A and B are shown apart, each in its own frame.
Chain A
């Protein structure tokens, strides 16, 4: 197995214009969550009021009507002029972000043009949603407004196909290796990086652009709102509150995270600035037939699988920690069940920026790399009060995990950014369908 280095990273983050502002806000304990006017315009039809999103001024991408009917999928303009119009013509918003972030990650990696365009360079980028913003509009034109297919425009397929983000990035950077998408719901971002890691570790590729992206789309938010799993009744900055006793759902969010991976020996030989090393990656399924509920057994097997690959000695566990009622509690118990109740801290970045769905696993790898760079644990905002009674599932006869209530683990959850030596971080993400992913990364 080849050792794998992370040599570049970039992204699009809520309420930030670039990764520098993101870093500054994360470690100064800021919330990136805001009220969303578009949601408010639907009044009581949508339960939640808050979201994590970036404006056109922040991202640099503007939508505009292109001369077909108003409902037609819009064209995109890159106000910074980084992405050529020919590439924007085939991309949706999430793909455009992926292209921008890929260029940023490649720039930081310092790869030459011939290295990027090599057969040994691949792209694996996924997303949680299926391009609904584009498909909703073209379907409306065809089915409701009875338009001919040519009125729908000629780029709807590349703008909405499952692997549109990987395809658009590959067409931009002209790599000649693998180009694929991994889809595993909210584990997509980490799963994509994990798959890319394996391609290098197994010697199939030398360099990979990998991550996840989730373009701003009300179409994505309303599905979760219908499930009544989104946070309500809190102010924007207190709405995402993993582990807190009053949490009542996650905050839907949008963004993009892309990392550049490289065969460690090659990166070292060319003198690359190595941001981190991937020690191991493991993923599995709960296998209990439940689409939504987390599984202690599944997460226990996840940890065992990861520990079989590498020596685990995490200083930080970057939790999935979405601010949902059962998910948070079970996850913290499964962490404690593996690592005990001291010697590490739990970071919950979604407390600051919400849940970027298919992008979030990759964005949280970026947060983890920033934690190692700054030697600071990012905070678990709003985890004000932890429940002092057992969870209902802890009282069942077949419960295998810790018996203490969440309040017993207060010291694991820093409410403000915390400086400490950090050598290794374990990143955790899970998704609908009972999919679980775990990656250990460490300092170079």
Chain B
């Protein structure tokens, strides 16, 4: 799976998250930040990560999530690494 495909999947998750303003999702790139750019509530960001595990059928280490931050690129790194470890 390419990084572009992972990004597309993340956007699909955000599109199904009512608290996220759909207008903000038109220009999401790897440089986007979930909290500062998309204003995803921090409690909802936990759900986005859990939904990503479900969508991509991977499981993240708790320590990796603790260190994740809120960047889209970091999240794609995490998903990509988890997919490569399967």
Chain B 10-26 residues near chain A, CB threshold 8 A: 13, 16-19
**In whole angstroms, what is the CA distance A209 to B51 when docked?**
37
The answer to whether B55 has its CB under 8 Å from any CB of chain A is yes
The answer to whether A153 has its CB under 8 Å from any CB of chain B is yes
Which residues of B are found within 8 Å of A82, using beta-carbon distances? none
The answer to whether A235 has its CB under 8 Å from any CB of chain B is no
Task: Say whether A153 contacts B47, CB under 8 Å.
Answer: yes
Which residues of A are found within 8 Å of B41, using beta-carbon distances? 86, 89
Which residues of A are found within 8 Å of B49, using beta-carbon distances? 150
Task: Say whether A85 contacts B47, CB under 8 Å.
Answer: no
The answer to whether A67 has its CB under 8 Å from any CB of chain B is yes
Of the residues A67, A150, A154, contact of B16 by C-beta under 8 Å: A67
Task: Say whether A150 contacts B19, CB under 8 Å.
Answer: no
**In whole angstroms, what is the CA distance A388 to B54 when docked?**
64
**In whole angstroms, what is the CA distance A154 to B49 when docked?**
11
Chain B 29-64 residues near chain A, CB threshold 8 A: 41, 43-44, 46-47, 49-51, 53-55, 59
**In whole angstroms, what is the CA distance A75 to B44 when docked?**
12
Task: Say whether B43 contacts A68, CB under 8 Å.
Answer: no
**In whole angstroms, what is the CA distance A151 to B53 when docked?**
9
Which residues of A are found within 8 Å of B44, using beta-carbon distances? 89, 154
Q: Name the distance in Å between B60's Cβ and chain A's nearest Cβ.
A: 9
Contact residues on B (Cβ < 8 Å of other chain), bracket: 10 to 19
The answer to whether A223 has its CB under 8 Å from any CB of chain B is no
Question: Would A67 and B19 be within 8 Å (CB), given that A151-B50, A154-B44 are in contact?
Answer: no
Task: Say whether B17 contacts A66, CB under 8 Å.
Answer: yes
**In whole angstroms, what is the CA distance A67 to B47 when docked?**
9
Task: Say whether A154 contacts B43, CB under 8 Å.
Answer: yes
Task: Say whether A67 contacts B13, CB under 8 Å.
Answer: yes
**In whole angstroms, what is the CA distance A77 to B51 when docked?**
19
Which residues of B are found within 8 Å of A155, using beta-carbon distances? 43, 47
Task: Say whether B46 contacts A66, CB under 8 Å.
Answer: no
Of the residues B13, B18, B46, B54, contact of A75 by C-beta under 8 Å: B18
Task: Say whether B18 contacts A68, CB under 8 Å.
Answer: no
Q: Name the distance in Å between A310's Cβ and chain B's nearest Cβ.
A: 47
The residue in A69, A77, A153 that gathers the most chain B C-beta atoms within 10 A of its C-beta is A153
A65-93 Cβ-contact flags toward B at 8 Å (1 or 0): 01111000001010000000110110000
Which residues of B are found within 8 Å of A148, using beta-carbon distances? 59
Tell me the nearest residue of chain A to B20, going by C-beta.
Answer: A85
Chain A 88-107 residues near chain B, CB threshold 8 A: 88-89
Which residues of B are found within 8 Å of A89, using beta-carbon distances? 18-19, 41, 43-44
Q: Name the distance in Å between A186's Cβ and chain B's nearest Cβ.
A: 34
**In whole angstroms, what is the CA distance A101 to B69 when docked?**
39
Tell me the nearest residue of chain B to A88, going by C-beta.
Answer: B18
Task: Say whether A66 contacts B16, CB under 8 Å.
Answer: yes
Task: Say whether A68 contacts B19, CB under 8 Å.
Answer: no
Which residues of A are found within 8 Å of B53, using beta-carbon distances? 150-151
Task: Say whether A154 contacts B46, CB under 8 Å.
Answer: yes
The residue in A67, A77, A86, A155 that gathers the most chain B C-beta atoms within 10 A of its C-beta is A67
A141-156 Cβ-contact flags toward B at 8 Å (1 or 0): 0000000101101110
Task: Say whether B54 contacts A150, CB under 8 Å.
Answer: no
Q: Name the distance in Å between A65's Cβ and chain B's nearest Cβ.
A: 9
Which residues of A are found within 8 Å of B51, using beta-carbon distances? 66-68
Which residues of A are found within 8 Å of B19, using beta-carbon distances? 85-86, 89
Of the residues B47, B59, B65, contact of A68 by C-beta under 8 Å: B47
Which residues of A are found within 8 Å of B16, using beta-carbon distances? 66-67
Tell me the nearest residue of chain A to B51, going by C-beta.
Answer: A67
**In whole angstroms, what is the CA distance A387 to B13 when docked?**
62
Chain A 141-178 residues near chain B, CB threshold 8 A: 148, 150-151, 153-155
Which residues of B are found within 8 Å of A154, using beta-carbon distances? 43-44, 46-47
Closest 9 CB pairs of A and B: A85-B18, A154-B46, A67-B51, A154-B43, A150-B50, A67-B16, A85-B19, A151-B50, A86-B19
* Given A66-B51, A150-B50, A154-B47, 16 further pairs, Cβ under 8 A: A67-B13, A67-B16, A67-B17, A67-B54, A68-B51, A69-B54, A85-B18, A86-B19, A88-B18, A89-B41, A148-B59, A150-B65, A151-B53, A153-B50, A154-B46, A155-B43
- Residues of B at the A interface (CB closer than 8 Å) are 13, 16-19, 41, 43-44, 46-47, 49-51, 53-55, 59, 65
- Residues of A at the B interface (CB closer than 8 Å) are 66-69, 75, 77, 85-86, 88-89, 148, 150-151, 153-155
- A to B CB contacts below 8 Å, 5 in the list: A66-B16, A68-B50, A153-B50, A154-B43, A154-B46
